[in-house]
Amino acid sequence: MTKPVIVLGGGGHAKVLIAILRRLNCRLLGIVDPNQTIGQLVHGLNVLGADNAIFDYSNTEIELVNGVGSLPKDKGLRAALFNTFNAQGYRFKTVIDPTALIAEDVELSHGVQVMTGVIIQVGAKIAENTILNSGAIVEHDCRIGRHVHIAPGAILSGTVNVSDHVHIGTGATIIQGISIGANSIIGAGSAITQDIAYNQIVYPPRPRIESIKEQ
Ligand code: JB2
């Protein structure tokens, strides 16, 4: 039987995860968030307190869901929460939206979050605490590291290698066989056709914007 769940964080990412967890009929104990008031309802769940409220439950009786998301330059908290509670023996639930299409042999480590409409093709391996956000496509034999965020609608062609702590922005496209070095940020809408080293930021071309002349 699946264990009851506590969600860390009460913001936008948590809201989407809670909707998925409800579709999966998970038993939700509440939210922990240092910036919310104990007893308040957030996304329909009771706020249990700050993160130390987790210790009211043993690591064998509950699972955690990391509802703190990540932004390109603000990825540290999500990874830190995962590492802290993982080191205390708590297990982070692997969340898979029922609409995701996942090939049979795909390997998902614990705490991976596969959001609505994601496609993961044969031979892909996704490491812990990574988010594959709504509508992302991860093609065959990709390797995705830990604490990665693949934002909505991003497309990774076959055999792409993504190292730890990478952010791949909304709608970015990575062609086959490319490697993205750890901690790098691929801007939304980028088309990546060459390897990207460690700790780089890729800025895509900006759209040109002009006012429409009055007739
Ligand atoms: O130490 C903490 C802590 N610090 C801030 N522990 C816990 N458990 N929660 C913490 N928080 C809470 O995280 C904040 O009080 C807030 O409720 C939440 C962050 O919410 P926000 O909506 O700002 O961001 P997010 O992480 O849910 O979503 C980001 O990442 C997603 C993947 C957003 O950029 C989304 O647009 C994006 N889809």
Q: What is the mean pLDDT of residues 109-132?
A: 98
Residue 73, pLDDT score = 76
Model-level pTM greater than 0.85? yes
Q: What is the mean pLDDT of residues 127-154?
A: 98
CB of 139 sitting under 6 A from ligand 1: no
The hierarchical CATH code for the domain 94-201 is 2.160.10.10
Residue 176, pLDDT score = 98
Q: How far is the CA of 13 from the centre of ligand 1 (A)?
A: 7
Q: How far apart are CA 191 and CA 194, in angstroms?
A: 9
CB of 68 sitting under 6 A from ligand 1: yes
To 5 degrees, how large is the angle CA 44–CA 49–CA 53? Answer: 115
Place of tokens 């390897």: 195
Ligand 1 binding pocket mutation candidate from 5, 13, 43 (most atoms within 8 A of CB): 13
Residue 192, pLDDT score = 98
CB of 70 sitting under 6 A from ligand 1: yes
pLDDT bracket for residue 71 (50, 70, 90): confident
Q: With 0-12 CB in 10 A as exposed, 13-18 as middle and 19+ as buried, what is 174?
A: buried
Q: What is the mean pLDDT of residues 147-157?
A: 98
> What is the dihedral angle through the alpha carbons of 23, 6, 86, 57, rounded to the nearest 10 degrees?
-140
Query: Per-residue pLDDT for 20 more than 90?
Result: yes
* Contact between 179 and 161 (Cβ < 8 Å): yes
Phi, psi (deg, nearest 5) at residue 29:
-80, -30
Q: How far is the CA of 196 from the centre of ligand 1 (A)?
A: 28
User: What percentage of the chain has pLDDT greater than the value 90?
Assistant: 95
Which is nearest to 90 in space by CA: 135, 48, 128?
A: 128
Domain residues of the chain, as ranges?
Answer: 5-87, 94-201
Q: What is the mean pLDDT of residues 128-142?
A: 98
Which is nearest to 154 in space by CA: 129, 180, 128?
A: 180
Q: How far is the CA of 42 from the centre of ligand 1 (A)?
A: 13
Q: Tell me the average pLDDT of the chain.
A: 97
Residue 215, pLDDT score = 80
Convert the pLDDT of each residue in 183-206 to its tens digit. 999 999 999 999 999 999 999 999
CB of 39 sitting under 6 A from ligand 1: no
Q: How far apart are CA 120 and CA 192, in angstroms?
A: 19
Query: Per-residue pLDDT for 1 more than 80?
Result: no
Fold of the domain built from segment(s) 5-87:
Rossmann fold (3.40.50)
Q: Which amino acid is at 95?
A: V
Q: Which residues of 100-109 are buried (b: 16+ CB within 10 A; e: fewer)?
A: bebeeebebb
